[in-house]
Amino acid sequence: MARDEEGVRRAEPLGDMPAAELQPAARAVADWISEYLAGVAEYPVLAQVRPGEIRARLPPELPEKGEPFPAMLRDFEEILLPGVTHWNHPGFFAYFSITGSAPGVLGEMLSSALNINAMVWRSSPVGTELEEHTLAWLRDLLGLPKEYDGTINDTASSSSLYALAAAREAKLPEAWEHGLSGAPRGRFYASEQAHSSIDKAVITLGFGRGGIRKVPTDEAFRMVPEELRRAVEEDLEAGVRPLGVVATLGTTSTTSVDPVAAIGEIAREFDLWLHVDAAYGGPAAAVPEFRPLFTGWEEADSIVVNPHKWLFTPIDCSVLYVRDPQRLRKAFSLTPEYLTTTEDGVARNLMDYGVSLGRRFRSLKLWFVIRYFGAEGIRDRIRQHVEMAREVAAWVDAAADWERVAPVPFSTVVLRFAPEGSSEADRDRMNRAIMDQVNESGEVFLSHTVLDGRVCLRIAVGNLRTRWEHLERCWELLEEAARSAAHFGPGGSS
- What confidence tens digit (pLDDT) does each residue in 46-59 have? 999 999 999 999 99
CA distance 225 to 269: 13
SS3 392: helix
Separation between Cα atoms, residue 117 and residue 125, nearest integer Å: 10
Mean pLDDT value across residues 269-278: 98
Which pLDDT does position 10 carry in this prediction?
84
In this structure, are residues 493 and 445 in contact, taking their beta carbons and an 8 Å threshold?
no
Do 438 and 458 meet the contact criterion of CB atoms below 8 Å apart? no
Angstrom distance (rounded) from CA 251 to CA 258: 8
Q: pLDDT per residue over 449-491, tens digit each?
A: 999 999 999 999 999 999 999 999 999 999 999 999 987 655 5
For the residues 174-190, what does the mean pLDDT come to? 91
- Give 1's pLDDT tier (boundaries 50, 70, 90): low
In this model, does residue 187 exceed pLDDT 60?
yes
Q: Encode pLDDT of 12-26 as tens digits.
A: 899 999 999 999 999
* pLDDT at 343 > cutoff 90: no
- Give me the chain's average pLDDT, please: 95
Given this model, what pLDDT does residue 488 score? 65
> Does 6 score more than 80 pLDDT?
no
pLDDT of residue 2: 62
Specify the pLDDT at position 3.
63
Strand extents, DSSP E, 257-359: 273-277, 302-305, 318-322
| Short-list 386, 383, 429, 376, CA closest to 407 | 386
3-state secondary structure of 183: coil
β-strands 412-417, 273-277 pairing = unpaired
pLDDT of residue 333: 87
Strand 273-277 to strand 402-404: parallel, antiparallel, or no bridges (unpaired)?
Answer: unpaired
What is the set of domains in the chain, with CATH numbers?
19-46+85-101+374-494 (3.90.1150.170), 117-361 (3.40.640.10)
Are 168 and 212 contacting, i.e. CB atoms less than 8 angstroms apart? no
pLDDT at 177: 84
User: What's the pLDDT tens digit per position in 227-262?
Assistant: 999 999 999 999 999 999 999 999 999 999 999 999
Q: Residue 47, SS3? A: coil
Quote the pLDDT of residue 115. 97
**Residue-wise pLDDT tens digits, 295-314:** 999 999 999 999 999 999 99
What is the per-residue pLDDT for 494?
40
Q: What is the mean pLDDT of residues 401-411?
A: 97
Distance of CA 363 to the CA centre of its chain: 16
- pLDDT at position 228 is 98
pLDDT score at 344: 80
3-state SS assignment for residue 111: helix
Answer yes or no: is pLDDT of 493 > 70.
no
Residue 182 predicted with pLDDT over 90: no
Cα torsion at 139, 167, 329, 125 (round to 10°)? -30
Residue 277 in this model has a pLDDT that exceeds 50: yes
- The dihedrals phi and psi of 272, each to the nearest 5 degrees, come to -100, 150
Say how many C-beta atoms besides its own lie within 10 A of residue 33's C-beta.
14
Tell me the average pLDDT across 140-167.
97
If pLDDT is split at 50, 70 and 90, which confidence band does 7 have?
confident
Burial class (CB in 10 A: 0-12, 13-18, 19+), 143: middle
Query: Which of 139-148, 443-452, 480-489 is least confident?
Result: 480-489
Cβ atoms 34, 431 nearer than 8 A: no
pLDDT exceeds cutoff 80 at 492: no
